[in-house]
């Protein structure tokens, strides 16, 4: 899906959006209410947010990978203030570059 997003307004997460670029790289961005919160990915559709000292908030999002798409992805994530971004980079892009 391209430019799919949703307002959530949960305890830790305001919204998210998903964008697939022509290269096949998928970007998933979460906008949070606070800066620099703990986060983790449990699987392709489940993400957890919140401080280590309390039970995290689990967010489930609809699947965004195209059905029948060959190969896998390398996942890179980073946080900048109140945004958490996951990049899903197709293996074939790295193979083409000889990485």
What pLDDT band is residue 18 in, cutting at 50, 70 and 90?
Answer: very high
pLDDT at 1: 43
Structure tokens, 82: 């109140």
Single pTM value for the model? 0.84
Tell me the Ramachandran region of residue 50: left when phi exceeds 0, alpha when psi lies from -120 to 50, beta otherwise.
left
- Mean of pLDDT values over 18-22: 91
Q: pLDDT, tens digit, for every residue of 37-69?
A: 899 998 888 999 987 666 778 999 888 877 666
pLDDT at 2: 46
Q: Distance between CA atoms of 66 and 51, rounded to whole angstroms?
A: 32
The per-type count for the chain, helices as H runs and strands as E runs, is 1, 8
Q: Distance between CA atoms of 95 and 61, rounded to whole angstroms?
A: 29
Q: Distance between CA atoms of 90 and 57, rounded to whole angstroms?
A: 28
- Answer yes or no: is pLDDT of 72 > 60: yes
What is the residue-averaged pLDDT of the chain?
84
- Mean of pLDDT values over 75-80: 94
pLDDT at 98: 58
| CB contact at 8 A, 5 and 15 | yes
């Amino acid at each position: 899906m391209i430019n799919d997003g949703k307002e959530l307004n949960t305890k830790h997460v305001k919204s998210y959006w998903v964008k697939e670029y022509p290269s096949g790289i998928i970007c998933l961005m979460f906008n949070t209410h606070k800066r620099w919160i703990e986060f983790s990915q449990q699987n392709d559709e489940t993400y957890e947010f919140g401080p280590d000292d309390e039970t995290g908030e689990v967010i489930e999002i609809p699947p965004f990978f195209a059905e029948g798409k060959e190969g896998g992805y390398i996942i890179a994530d980073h946080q900048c203030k109140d945004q958490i971004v996951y990049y899903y980079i197709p293996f074939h892009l790295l193979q083409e570059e000889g990485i």
